[in-house]
Amino acid sequence: MYYEFASKHFHKSSQVPRNLNKKELAYDGWRGAGKGLSSRVRRMFLDMDPGIDDAVAMLLASQLKDVEVLGVSTVAGNVDVVKTTRNALKIVEFLGLRAGVYRGSSRPLIRPHENSADIHGNDGLGGVALPEPRIRADPLPGPMAMAEFARAEPGKVTLVATGPLTNVAIACMLDMDFPGHVKQLVIMGGAFSLAPYGKGNVSQFAEYNIYADPEAANLVFTSFQDILCVGLDVTMHPDLLVKQEDLNRLRKSGSRMGSLAADIMGFSVRRMGYFAPHDPLAVYCVHDQAIVSTKRGRVKVVTDLQGERGRTILETDSEKSNVSVASAVDGTRFKEELLGALERAR
């Protein structure tokens, strides 16, 4: 069965212990992880489609002192899964992270894959010159990896999903206990008309991640007890949009990471006049959720093909609320935190 297979595989995998430091390994192997850690360390698993803003989110995650990245799974989204996986490997290698990279689904649950290479460039990283990665993806599939990390430490792992929700939905179907094992699911996705700019970016209604796999999104939104949804209502706040002068600041800082971030974000700034740090804000919320205020309710996703596909609807009158939808953000503070973290990195 799946779990037996995955456990066997997982123990054998050379990648798994990479998220553990020597101090932890001195305890009782990787399943004892966390015993040697301060309770303030937030254990994060990333599910992504890098992607310009996913890449910047990884850079930011590496700089948050109270966050440990356990692993990164990849999904078809901004570009195909071969490219999103290669991009994740490039960034993990650049950062020297010990986190494994796990390739996930190559297409949405029931629909063909539609990329957004026009926004992220053909390679998904805006053509930024990073060397071909020497490290390789772990053979464990992405959905199995996230389910395994959550099962290993029930209630401890925060899952941050910044691409289409295909892998998360598959993990829910593979392991019925998976949603209950996750401490909190943070989703970058959706547009709820809670702010003037909280409109769709694929259609009038739909944000890309939800639009790309609305069936997966619907399953995910109804499966977890505690979801924080960070959508366009906050990630398009004018105060947090990164502009050319911000890129200049990063380049002047002399930081290797700041310079890479400026190159990656520069693709978007050249095309649109700004870079919207969608995925970095979702990651940052794990460190400091008070950066956003939220409205609590249940979320339904329109899945039909007639016009409103991918629309997210917040129902606040529900008795069984499980989703906090970000409705406002301190954009000025967030942009300063993001730029500061990138320019301080050495």
Binding site for Ca ion (CB under 5 A): 49, 51, 54, 162-163, 279
| Nearer to Ca ion among residue 147 and residue 283 (C-beta) | 283
Residue 184 CB, nearest approach to Ca ion (Å):
18
194/180 Cα distance (integer angstroms): 29
Residue 282 CB, nearest approach to Ca ion (Å):
9
Closest CA to 12 of 26, 33, 32, 30: 30
| Nearer to Ca ion among residue 99 and residue 276 (C-beta) | 276
Element (H or E) spanning 327, and its range?
strand 323-329
| Nearer to Ca ion among residue 130 and residue 281 (C-beta) | 281
The DSSP call for residue 170 is H
| Nearer to Ca ion among residue 208 and residue 224 (C-beta) | 208
152/17 Cα distance (integer angstroms): 13
Cβ(226)–Cβ(185) below 8 Å: yes
100 φ/ψ angles, rounded to the nearest 5 degrees: -75, 155
Residue 325 CB, nearest approach to Ca ion (Å):
18
Catalytic residue among 113, 181, 237, 278: 278
Residue 10 CB, nearest approach to Ca ion (Å):
26
Give the CA-trace dihedral at 57, 114, 207, 172, to 10 degrees. -70
Collapsing DSSP states into helix, strand and coil, what is residue 345? coil
Cβ(298)–Cβ(320) below 8 Å: yes
| Nearer to Ca ion among residue 162 and residue 223 (C-beta) | 162
| Nearer to Ca ion among residue 51 and residue 266 (C-beta) | 51
Alpha helix ranges (H) inside the chain? 2-12, 22-25, 52-63, 81-95, 117-120, 142-152, 166-174, 178-181, 208-212, 214-221, 232-235, 244-252, 256-272, 278-287, 331-344
Closest CA to 293 of 163, 195, 189, 158: 195
Could you confirm whether 278 is annotated as catalytic?
yes
Residue 161 CB, nearest approach to Ca ion (Å):
9
Give the CA-trace dihedral at 29, 30, 31, 37, to 10 degrees. 100
Catalytic residue among 47, 49, 54, 138: 49
Cβ–Cβ contacts within 10 Å for residue 155, how many?
10
Could you confirm whether 49 is annotated as catalytic?
yes
Residue 79 CB, nearest approach to Ca ion (Å):
10
Catalytic residue positions, numbered: 49, 278
